[in-house]
Amino acid sequence: MDLREARVVLRERRLLDVLDLAVRFLVAHAAPYAVLSAFVLVPCGVATVMIAAHAGFAWALTFALALAALAEVPFTVLGSRLVFESDVSFAQVLRTSLRRAPLVLVTRLIVFVAAAIGGTMLLLPGIWVAVSFLYVTEIVALEEAGVGTAMSRAQRMLQGRFGDALVAWMLLGGIHLGATWLGDRALATVLADLFQITPPAKLGDPDGGVLGLVAFWLALPYVTTARLFSYLDLRTRTEGWDVQVRFAALARREETER
């Protein structure tokens, strides 16, 4: 990543500013995100809805949570390319995602097992593990780190920043959960009132939750992009990216004046 080519201002931001920036970024780049969603989210949504129809919502949700670890990778790669490049190759995004996805899956699986073990003993150790490795997807996908290196890097990045990461973890998780719940209700209303179609059972009702699965996938690009910008903000704070960009700008101006 060439910081001098950043198309988003690199500066320290509050978490709410990060969430707002993610919304504006998605709106500004709606077309590439829509194309990627057609390639990634449509198959994921169809698969989970079919599982829900045959095996029940609980199995479908479990599969969706596992599959989301892979589905996040191309959106993370796309977002990072759009931040630092003006001309993004969609084929290159898919190739990079396919190459890094297995390592992301292995890393996320290790984190999940460790968090589950910690959660069965006491709740707090499980939360500590989940928060400590909040940004492993970004580290593996963007920094091209191995499993062990990524996990060590994730912990080092949060030294003195664990509280910020905890708030980000809770807020991003809450947004995804809330979007799933509210999306289930909103989609049911659209089907019933706009298209005069009897909607499936709502989330929480027996044999319900199909529309909730659809909403889960629709919210994934935003949650992934918001976490990406949270990761970039953390690197700006810990590695002084904003200072590097300013010095580079001063150097370019001095060279131009000469």
Is the per-residue pLDDT at 6 higher than 70? no
DSSP characters over the chain: --GGG-SS------HHHHHHHHHHHHHHTHHHHHHHHHHHHHHHHHHHHHHHHHH-HHHHHHHHHHHHHHHHHHHHHHHHHHHH-SS--HHHHHHHHHHHHHHHHHHHHHHHHHHHHHHHH-HHHHHHHHHHTTTHHHHHHHS---HHHHHHHHHHHTTTTHHHHHHHHHHHHHHHHHHHHHHHHHHHHIIIIIS--PPPPPTTSTT--HHHHHHHHHHHHHHHHHHHHHHHHHHHHHH-HHHHHHHHHHHHHHHHH-
- pTM, two decimals, is 0.88
Q: What is the pLDDT of residues 127-164, one digit of tens each?
A: 999 999 999 999 999 988 898 999 999 988 888 889 88
Q: What is the pLDDT of residues 170-202, one digit of tens each?
A: 999 999 999 999 999 999 999 888 888 888 888
Structure confidence at residue 39 (pLDDT): 93
Is the per-residue pLDDT at 241 higher than 80? no
Q: In which band, very low, low, confident or very high, does the pLDDT at 1 lie, cut at 50, 70 and 90?
A: low
Which of the listed ranges 11-15, 21-25, 81-85, 158-162 does the model predict with the highest average pLDDT? 21-25
What ranges do the domains of the chain cover? 13-98+162-244
